[in-house]
Amino acid sequence: GNSDTLVVFVSGDGGWAAIDREISKVLADDGMPVAGLNALQYFWTKRTPETASRDLETIIGRYLDQWHKSRVVLVGYSRGADVLPAMISRLPAETRTKIQAIVLLGPSPKVEFEFHVSDWLRDTNAGLPVKPEVEKLAPAHILCIYGESDHDSLCPALKSQPGVNVIMLKGAHHFDGGYANLGRLIIEHIQ
């Protein structure tokens, strides 16, 4: 079981939307409480990978303590998946040893640590490349899930990295609404 595990879930630009809520519910029902970071609110203010990493460290420490857990699973969706690797790679080693698994749902090749309303309208190629940040996490246990018609996803490029498991699902970036199934996939993978 995962009774000693909690989840920190970093949302996409939609804020705390259906996908984030439903996956969190499946994880919580399995005994893993979920602390959420609403990326829409959080990245409305410009952040750096360093400040975002410190905030992640604070969240992990606070909830491990509050909920009496010893391990954490980090999940990011969309922009959440884009920012997580850089946030994790900058965590202190002691915190990183507590990470049981990392789940990236629909990550892109590049990320900016600031939200622009225009991001809703067009894809930008500006920002920090995500792949080198994921490479810094090796040999961490990473699950990368993407939709088969999500042609911009970073997942296929990560297949050769030790510890990375790539799963392609039907649909595009929103996985055709099969969110409970995503939650179950995550649970299976982190056992």
Please determine, for residue 114, whether its predicted confidence score (pLDDT) is greater than 70.
yes
- What is the DSSP secondary structure assignment for residue 14, as one 8-state letter? T
Cα–Cα distance, 23 to 189 (Å, whole number):
14
Cβ(6)–Cβ(67) below 8 Å: yes
Residue with the bigger pLDDT between 113 and 6: it is: 6
Residue with the bigger pLDDT between 96 and 20: it is: 96
CATH number of the structural domain spanning residue 142: 3.40.50.1820
Per-residue model confidence (pLDDT) at position 125: 58
Q: What is the pLDDT of residues 24-46, one digit of tens each?
A: 999 999 999 999 998 888 888 88
Per-residue model confidence (pLDDT) at position 145: 94
Total structural domains within the chain: 1
Q: What is the pLDDT of residues 120-178, one digit of tens each?
A: 555 555 688 999 999 999 889 999 999 888 888 999 999 999 999 999 988 766 676 67
Q: Is the whole model's pTM more than 0.75, yes or no? A: yes
Per-residue model confidence (pLDDT) at position 45: 87
Band of the pLDDT at 21, cuts 50, 70, 90? confident
Owning domain of residue 29: 5-190
Please determine, for residue 116, whether its predicted confidence score (pLDDT) is greater than 80.
no
Band of the pLDDT at 13, cuts 50, 70, 90? confident
Q: What angle do CA 48, 190, 171 make, to 5 degrees?
A: 75
Helices (H) and strands (E) in the chain, counts: 7, 8
